[in-house]
Amino acid sequence: MEPYTQAPTRILEWAEEDRPREKLLLKGISSLSDAELIAILLGSGTTNLSAVDLAKQIMQHNNQSLHTLARQSVKDLQKFKGIGEAKAITLVSALELGRRRKNIEPEIKPHIKSSEDVFNYIQGDLSDLPYEEFWIILLNRANRIEKKIRISTGGVSGTVADPKLIYKYALENLASSIILVHNHPSGNKKPSEADISLTKKLSEAGSFLEIPVLDHVIICNQSWYSFADEGKI
């Protein structure tokens, strides 16, 4: 009688938390091994090997070193059973992107230290508009800008700024604080009662969510009004 050999378990038969894609979603990308990340790029294995097993085989052949793997050509990778030209190109491309990323200088994000910094950063978006727009600037813990987002576009005398939408963006982008910005096409810097009420409402929401509103800046051509400078926030 021939010895019984159990066929390799297919990835789809694994527990959900052990499949590379599902594991990434459940536990985060840092929980995946190099082989599991490569398996995601491969997408599939062979009749006898899962994508993860094939990836482990590739890593073992390259001394468990991504640096060694990165030196492999498309033809080198095609020597592995189950790696065709398309999969080899995908692996080579992913490793090349990683190499290029290391060679790029990290982007220096603008630092906000005053209302003038806010004005200089965003005046190009708002200064010459004949209608109102409402924007938010999302900041990290060092008060450096992560992103600016247009919330709404309105008419000559007003625009709607939905607090739920504003804090949805802030939470999604893990902002540490926000700055509110809108323009007054009339050239009158003085905040309206609606501006004051909205600023108060958003400041209260920010305190509750621990994403404080640092300022609300009103842009008027080449000048501005700052709630923070006026002690109104």
Name the least confident of 38-47, 98-107, 142-151. Answer: 98-107
Top-confidence residue, 158 or 50? 50
Q: What is the pTM of this model?
A: 0.61
Average pLDDT over residues 16-36: 84
Per-residue confidence (pLDDT) for residue 219, from 0 to 100? 95
Quick check: 171 pLDDT over 90? Answer: yes
| pLDDT tens, residue by residue, 92-101 | 999 999 989 8
- The sign of the torsion formed by the CA atoms of 31, 36, 38, 42 equals negative
Confidence band for 102, pLDDT divided at 50, 70 and 90: confident
* Domains along the sequence of the chain with CATH: 11-103 (1.10.150), 115-226 (3.40.140.10)
| pLDDT tens, residue by residue, 110-169 | 999 999 999 999 999 998 889 999 999 999 999 999 999 999 998 766 677 889 999 999
